Amino acid sequence: MFIPQSYSLAIILCIVTMLCWGSWGNTQKLAGKSWRFELFYWDYVIGIFLFSILLGFTLGSNGESGRGFVEDIRQAETRNILNAMVGGAIFNASNILLVAAMAIAGMAVAFPVGVGIALALGVIINYVFAPQGDPIWLFGGVSLIVAAIIFDAIAYKKHSASLQKVSRKGILLSVAAGVLMAMFYRFVASSMVTSFEVPEPGKLTPYSAIFFFSIGILISNLLFNYLLMKRPFEGEPLSFKDYAKGSIGVHLTGIIGGIIWNIGMAMSILASGKAGFAISYGLGQGATMVAAIWGVFIWKEFKNASKGTNTLIGMMFLLFIAGITLIIMAKI
C-alpha cells in the first residue's frame, strides 16, 4: 500500500485535508437552493462510502509497504472494526448537529462554537493518547487558529444586517456538535496500527480503517438522516419521494461532495503516520478558514463590507497562517 515516507509529504497531505474539508460545502451550494440539505446528505454519504472502496483497491492494494487492503480486512479483529465504525457514526451525528445548529443559530455562531470546540478539544484528546510533536508549538498554533475562527465570527456578525436572535437550542446544538466532532477521530485512530510499515496483527491499516469508518457513516445515516427528514429542525418533513425528484446532476453533485470530504479524511489518516494524530487532526480542522476563503473571494459573502469588517477578515487570515505555521513546526 502507499505510505508517506517523510514529514514534509505528510504536511502536504494535511494541507490537502484542509482544502477538501473546507471545500466540500460548495457542492451543497451548487446542488441548488431548492434542494434541502437532508436530501443532499444521502448522496454525500454515498460519495464517502464509494471513495473508501476505490481508495482501498487502488492506493491500498499497490506498493510493497505495509499490508494489502483485502488481506488487512480479513485479519482485522472485531473490536478494531467496531471502533472505526463507531468513529464514523459519531462523525455523522456531529456533522448533522452542526448543520442543524447553522440553520437555527446561523453560521456566525455555529461554526466558531462547534468547530472551535472540535479543534481545541480534538487536538488535546489525540495528543494525550498519542503525544507527538512539541506541545508548546502545537497548542500555540491551535490557539491562534481558534482566535482566527473567532475573528471570522465577529466579522460575519458585523457584516450581516439580518441575523436573528440566537436561540439557546442553537448554541446547545453547536456545543454538542463540537464535542462529538472532537471525539470521532480518536476512535478511528485507536483502531489503527502504530506502524504503517510493519503493521501489528488485528489492527487496521489506514485504508481499511477509512473503509470501516465509511460503513459506520453509511449505517448510522439510515437512522440519523431518516429521523431528520421526518422531524427537521427547519422546514417541512420530507419523504423519499422528494429525494427521487432530484436530477442526475443534483445527485452527482452530492456524491462528488462526499468524495471530496473523504479524500481529506484519507489524506489526514495517511499523514498521521509521520505527523502524528494531533497534528494531522489540528491542521485538518483549519478547514474552517478555507471555507471562509471561499466565502470571501468566490461567493462574495463580504462584498461591500465596511472597513472595520475587512480589517477583521485580514486579521483572521494572518492568525490562521501563523497558527498553521506553528503546528507544522511542532515536529521540525
The tens digit of pLDDT for each residue in 268-280 reads 999 999 999 999 9
Element (H, E) at 152: helix 135-159
**Does 291 fall in a domain?**
no
**Does 326 fall in a domain?**
no
pLDDT of 153 over the 70 cut: yes
**Does 325 fall in a domain?**
no
**Does 316 fall in a domain?**
no
Range of the domain at 212: 7-135+164-286
- The pLDDT of residue 310 is 84
pTM beyond 0.95: no
DSSP code per residue over 11-26: HHHHHHHHHHHTTTHH
**Does 303 fall in a domain?**
no
**Does 305 fall in a domain?**
no
pLDDT of 74 over the 90 cut: yes
Q: What is the dihedral of CA 174, 258, 18, 234, to 10 degrees?
A: -20
**Does 142 fall in a domain?**
no
The tens digit of pLDDT for each residue in 81-123 reads 999 999 999 999 998 898 788 767 666 667 777 878 888 899 9
**How many separate domains does the chain show?**
1
**Region 8-17 average pLDDT:** 96
Instruction: Band the pLDDT of 167: cuts 50, 70, 90.
Output: low
- 237: number of Cβ within 10 Å: 11
SS3 content of the chain, % helix, strand, coil (to 5): 75, 0, 25
Q: Which residue has the higher pLDDT, 299 or 85?
A: 85
- The pLDDT of residue 28 is 84
Share of the chain above pLDDT 70, in %: 95
DSSP 3: -
- The pLDDT of residue 67 is 93
Most confident of 18-32, 147-161, 212-226: 212-226
Residue from 150, 182, 177 nearest 320 by CA: 150
**Does 76 fall in a domain?**
yes
91-100, 174-183, 187-196, 285-294 — which is least confidently predicted? Answer: 285-294
Residue from 39, 61, 53 nearest 247 by CA: 39
By CB atoms closer than 10 A (0-12, 13-18, 19+), residue 148 is: buried
Share of the chain above pLDDT 90, in %: 64
**If you average pLDDT over every residue of the chain, what do you get?**
90
